[in-house]
Every structure is written in structure tokens, then in C-alpha cells.
Amino acid sequence: MNKRVEEVLNVQINREIYSSYLYLSMSAYFNATGLKGMANWTKIQYQEELSHAMKMFDYVNERGGRVILEQIERPAIEWTSPLDVFEGVLSHEEYITKNINELMSIATEEKDYATVNFLQWFVGEQVEEEANVNEILDQLNLIGDNKMGLVMLDKELVQRVFVDPTLNI
């Protein structure tokens, strides 16, 4: 495996693990505030991000590289509102998208086309991630201070179930 590509994939593996940790913290926050649907949505995000990290982990190993795990930073634990949480989700997903795009650029520069092919799925996944969060943000902005609207959205989000998206790669 190309050493430069291996290094940036290792950084991304650690980012994905941090992402899962961040979403798990958000889930704990929502559980503590009585929003079980939002707790469920962010817990599913935790599972998805961990599956992304493991897919990259397995890929590096499969290509003969070495995975190096770093210390994971403590995520935020407090937010001011559900809107604040989901604005944070969008910001974080945009950051991950930027990083996936940088990974793609490096793999292309290094002519590591197997990794380019591998990363293509993550590029598409990030489009979907941002669209999902934007939909929730649109709903939260429409709801405003309407507590009944918040309860209805929460009941909708409790229905989400985890299906490992990396199994289709």
C-alpha cells in the first residue's frame, strides 16, 4: 500500500472513531433530556460511523498496510437545544466530507486507483449524510419553539433502525 495513502487513511480511521464517540455523546445528551427518538437517531449515527471506521480499518489491513490507532479526544457533552445538536451534526459531517475529498485527492495524486475506487462509496455516503441532517434541520427550523412539533419529530426519529451501510461496498 502506498505509504502516504496509508497515513491519511489512518488519520481518517481515527476521525471516524471520534465521530462515533461524538454521536454517542449526543445520544446520551438526548436520553438525559427525554428525547428518545433523537437519542435513537444519534445512536444509529454512532453505529454507522463505527462501521465506516471498521471498513477503512479492514481495507488498510487487506492492502498490507498497518493501522495505527491514536488517542480519541473527548467529545462535547452539552448542547443548548436539539437545533444546536443538529447544527453541530451538519458542521461535523461537512468536516468529514472535506476530509474524504482530501483523501480522494491524495489517492488520485499517488495513482492509488484501488483506494480511489474504495473511497468513491464514502464520497456518496457523505452526500447522503449531509442531506439527512439538512432535512432534520429544516424540520427543526419549521418547528421553532413548538413543543408539540418537537415531540412529533422525536416520535418519527425513534423509528430509525441501524442497517450497516458498509455491507453494500
CATH of the domain at 43: 1.20.1260.10
pLDDT, tens only, 42-55: 999 999 999 999 99
For residue 103, is pLDDT > 70? Answer: yes
Structural domain containing residue 41: 3-168
Q: What is the mean pLDDT of the chain?
A: 96
**16 labelled as ligand-binding?**
yes
Give the chain's domain count: 1
Contact predicate 44/160, CB 8 Å: yes
**49 labelled as ligand-binding?**
yes
**48 labelled as ligand-binding?**
no
pLDDT of residue 52: 97
Contact predicate 129/93, CB 8 Å: yes
- Gap between the Cα atoms of 162 and 31, Å rounded: 18
